[in-house]
Amino acid sequence: MAVLAPAPVSTAPVPGKKRLSRALSERRTRFGLLNAAPVVVYLLVLFVYPIFSTLMLSLKGDDGAFTLHWYADAFKGANLEILLTTLRISAETSLLSLVVGFVLAAAVSRLKPLWAGLVMVVVVVPHFISALVRTYGWIILLGEHGVVNNALTGLHFPGAPFQLLYNEVGVVIGTTSVMLPYTVLLLYAVMKGIDRRLMAAAASMGAGRLTIFRRVYVPLVAPGLVNAGILCFILCLGYYITPALMGGPKQTMVASLIDTQVMKQDQWNGASALGIILLLLTFAGLLLLKLLQSAGERYRNRGTAP
Amino acid sequence: MPETNVIPEPSLAAPAALAGSGKALSVRRLRKTYAGVTAVDEVSMEIAAGEFVTFLGSSGSGKTTTLMMIAGFCEPDSGSIVVGGNDVTRLAPQKRGLGFVFQQYLLFPHMTVWENVAFPLQLRGVPKAEQRRRVGETLEMAGLSKMARRRPRELSGGQQQRVALCRALVYRPPVILMDEPLGALDKKLRDQLQTEIKRIQQELGLTVIYVTHDQEEALVLSDRIAVMRDGRIDQFDTPQELFERPRTPFVADFLGAANFLPGRVEEQSADHTLVRLDTGGLLKARPQVAPDGARVRAGVQPGRLFLCPAGDGFCTGTVETVTYVGTLVRVTVRPAGGTATDLVRLELPAGRAPALGERVDLAADPANVSVFADAEDGG
């Protein structure tokens, strides 16, 4: 969860080389490097090397020569559509998870600790069960003769039964339920950290509930919203099971495409290119997070003072 | 949603105008119980515009609960609160138009100092130019002009509390409530801010209700002090009255750590009461209606006792301890024939300290001695 790591605080600007040598001369730094070594080796062998070889694979043509052919392929026709679908579904899912997560976390953060703990257990425990089982659970609930549609038809709800499976609605419902614990936990932590007496302070000087929510509460939760949104988006980008099972042909996401290319077409180079594109998209997401954070900081630092 | 004009907006000159018209706030028979325990019991008071009133008491005395009820953060079981002629007892805090300064500052961390102070003005729909002028003036007055663009977390505790003060007074509420605002600061800063709060209050003619457990702070700041105990007001008077003519032993003890000397009323007249102390001496006190022979306690502040020639005082004893505290010396004297519980404490100028073990005679001006019936508790 590198996303959550706080940005390193940059101290006084020291020229790069000087800073490095100064840092190395400190006993604490050297000790720290020694401690970090095993993990660094582990990551080099099991993370950096595979990614590097994937990158090489994606740049290799059928004849073994360097080519960008696979990347060009990824941005063409059906493949491009799948990429765009992935981005769209990820965005929709993130937005829905944020809204539902916000409401849920806000409610839980007002409960007494015992009740809050209980609700959090209810939110989190289903995710101890494998995603596959949960997805089949959703399929039972949302099918044409599933629980939801039966109930709606029973109530003579206009338009029922609805098509809730094998389309975008189904995918977004399924993925949102998978992502919800992340947004709820993240937002809950931020909301718990907000001093509720700040709202009392705002009320004491005449602010109504809506104003307090808009001018005090939401701005204080905003950093959490950005973090949770981006995390959710990144997790969605590479998500496989739920979209594959709950979506139709129009909801194919990149992960499914990679699966098809490797398992059915034995097309490792193309799959590698898609993998690298996903990785770059993830980095883009993280960059966006950074930019949003610093933009927020700038926005807040703009003095209205003359 | 429009954020404007929820609260009546008094003009800049309002406090001064109100000062002539008298009452800014009255509290009538306020009562609050928590799970059967009475926190505030029939508290009533009238506060004039421009007055600085302090609720003084130890924790659990009901001072903070009373303040919270005035602010609207908790609802009284019975009684009423009237601000500037309007009954606000059942109004939500945001509709009362009061100012509140919290012990924990509670500045909005996502706003700059300037934005924090401008916030209540924005709520009232004050025009931009007017906002700029008033926020500027207020920050200037508190010596914070250079901090305007900073974030609360970049300020020291004292500066943060100054900003909180600015934020509470920038919209000129008819009454500003302060809940131990200096409680989290160190002694030196506290003294400095006390002076500053008093100066600003007097300059602007603000009506302030201040809660503290620090009697020194109460004495420095207040026009009047309500000494609270067990949910009731023991005495509501000027600092001088409280100090010199405490009505209950509790007040005498809380404000001046008084000596209480047990005895019996021996004689009464229009200008004094004579008390025969249990340790043998005869002490002349302020006149007090009490039957002859009644058991009483004579209360006298350590600082109001002095040494006198042998035979002139109400008590002869030996010096037990001498403690230097800067310009003063604290001395305890054990009366002849008395036990450790009869020790009399006095404060003398540093130059006049007796030696340990010396025999001394103690005297007091009758005007500084109060007589309390023995049944009264406290002390």
Task: Please name the member of A198, A210, A220 whose beta carbon is closest to the beta carbon of B106.
Answer: A198
pLDDT, residue B25, reads 93
Q: Do the chains contact at B120 and A205, CB–CB below 8 Å? A: yes
The answer to whether the CB atoms of A205 and B119 lie below 8 A apart is yes
Q: Residue B102: its pLDDT value, please?
A: 93
Rounded to a whole number, what is the distance in angstroms from the first to the last CA of chain A?
42
Structure tokens, A172: 């977004």
Structure tokens given for A91: 């965005």
Interface contact flag, A200 B124, Cβ < 8 Å: no
* Contacting residues of B for A201, CB less than 8 Å apart: 100, 102, 106, 108
Alpha-carbon distance of A73 to B252, in angstroms, equals 91
Contacts of B120 in chain A (CB under 8 A): 205-206
Closest partner CB to B123 (pick from A197, A207, A306)? A207
Say yes or no: A306 contacts chain B, CB-CB below 8 A.
yes
CB atoms within 10 A of CB B128: 11
**Contact of B50 with B157, CB cutoff 8 Å:** no
Q: Does A301 sit within 8 Å of B149, measured CB to CB? A: yes
> Residue ranges of chain B with pLDDT lower than 70?
1-22, 375-379
How remote is the C-alpha of B181 from its chain's centroid? 13
3-state secondary structure of B232: strand
Chain-centroid distance of CA A86 in Å reads: 13
Please give the pLDDT value at position A302: 58
Smallest Cβ–Cβ distance between B94 and the set A195, A208, A305 belongs to A208
Confirm or reject contact between A218 and chain B (CB < 8 A). no
* pLDDT for the residue B21: 53
- Using an 8 Å Cβ cutoff, are B226 and B51 in contact? no
- The total of other beta-carbon atoms located within 10 Å of residue A167's CB is 15
Domain regions of chain A by residue span: 89-257
Give the integer Cα–Cα distance in Å for A251 and A58: 25
Indicate whether this model's pTM tops 0.90: no
With contacts defined as CB-CB under 8 Å, which chain A residues touch B124? Answer: 206
Min Cα separation A206/chain B (Å): 4
Is the Cβ–Cβ distance between B259 and B344 less than 8 Å? Answer: yes
Distance of alpha carbon B354 from alpha carbon B317, whole angstroms: 12
* pLDDT value for A5: 45
Nearest beta carbon to residue A304 from set B3, B93, B115: B115
DSSP codes of every residue in chain A: -GGGSPPPPP-S---HHHHHHHHHHSHHHHHHHHHHHHHHHHHIIIIIHHHHHHHHHHTB-TTSSB--HHHHHHTSHHHHHHHHHHHHHHHHHHHHHHHHHHHHHHHHHHS-HHHHHHHHHHHHGGGGS-HHHHHHHHHHHHSTTSHHHHHHHHTT-TTPSP--SSSHHHHHHHHHHHHHHHHHHHHHHHHHTS-THHHHHHHHTT--HHHHIIIIIHHHHHHHHHHHHHHHHHHHHT--HHHHHH--GGG--HHHHHHIIIIIT--HHHHHHHHHHHHHHHHHHHHHHHHHHHHHHHHHH-----
Residue B187 · residue B216 · CB < 8 Å: no
pLDDT of residue B279: 81
pLDDT of residue B338: 76
Q: What pLDDT score was predicted for residue A73?
A: 87
CB contact under 8 A, A211 and B1: yes
Q: How far is B25 from chain A (nearest CA, A)?
A: 17
Instruction: Estimate the crossing angle of helix B157-169 against helix B128-141, to 10 degrees.
Output: 140
Condensed to tens digits (0 to 9), the pLDDT of residues A152-184 reads 988 988 887 888 889 999 999 999 999 999 999
- B73: chain A residues, CB-CB within 8 Å: 200, 204
Q: Residues of B at the A interface (Cβ-Cβ below 8 Å)? A: 1, 3, 6-7, 71-73, 92-95, 97-100, 102, 104, 106, 108-112, 114-115, 118-120, 123-124, 132, 136, 148-149, 151, 167-168, 171
Q: Which residues on A lie below 8 Å from B92 (Cβ)?
A: 203
What is this model's ipTM? 0.77
Q: Which of B94, B96, B151 is the best mutation test for A, with the most CBs of A within 10 A?
A: B94
Residue A32 near chain B (CB below 8 Å) = no
Q: B171, exposed or middle or buried, with CB in 10 Å at 0-12, 13-18, 19+?
A: buried
The count of other CB atoms within 10 Å of the CB of residue A291 is 10
Whether residue B94 and residue A203 make contact (CB cut-off 8 A), yes or no, is: yes
Instruction: Write out chain B residues lying below 8 Å of A306, CB-based.
Output: 132, 136
SS3 content of chain B, % helix, strand, coil (to 5): 30, 35, 35
Which chain B residues are within 8 Å of A304, Cβ to Cβ? 112, 114-115, 118
A200–B123 C-beta distance less than 8 A? no
Structure tokens at B119: 């916030």
Consecutive 10-residue averages of pLDDT for chain A (306 residues): 44 61 77 88 91 90 84 89 92 95 93 91 87 89 88 86 89 92 93 92 92 94 92 91 88 89 88 92 88 79 49
Interface size A-B, in CB pairs within 8 Å, comes to: 84
- Determine the Cα–Cα distance for residues B287 and B160; give it in Å rounded to an integer: 50
3-state secondary structure at position B136 = helix
Q: Does A202 touch chain B (CB under 8 A)?
A: yes
Residue in chain A closest to B2 (alpha carbons) equals A211
Alpha carbon of A201: minimum distance to chain B alpha carbons (Å): 7
- At residue A15, the pLDDT reads 59
Amino acid at A166: Y
From residue A194, alpha-carbon distances to A110, A136, A220, B126, B152 in Å are: 11, 38, 7, 28, 15
Cβ(B69)–Cβ(B41) below 8 Å: no
Q: Which candidate from A197, A204, A207 shows the least CB-CB separation from B71?
A: A204
Q: Which residue in this structure is represented by tokens 């009901």?
A: B62
Question: Is residue A210 less than 8 Å (CB to CB) from chain B?
Answer: yes
Encode pLDDT of B59-72 as tens digits.
889 999 999 999 99
Instruction: Work out the percent of chain A whose per-residue pLDDT is above 70.
Output: 92
Which of B162, B153, B43 is closest to B108 using CA atoms?
B153
Chain A residues lying within 8 Å of B108, measured CB to CB: 198, 201-202, 216
Rg (CA), chain B: 25
Kindly give the pairing relationship between strand B99-101 and strand B176-179. parallel
Nearest chain B residue (CA) to A207:
B94
CATH architecture of A89-257: Orthogonal Bundle (1.10)
Rounded Cα distance, A7 and A287, in Å: 12
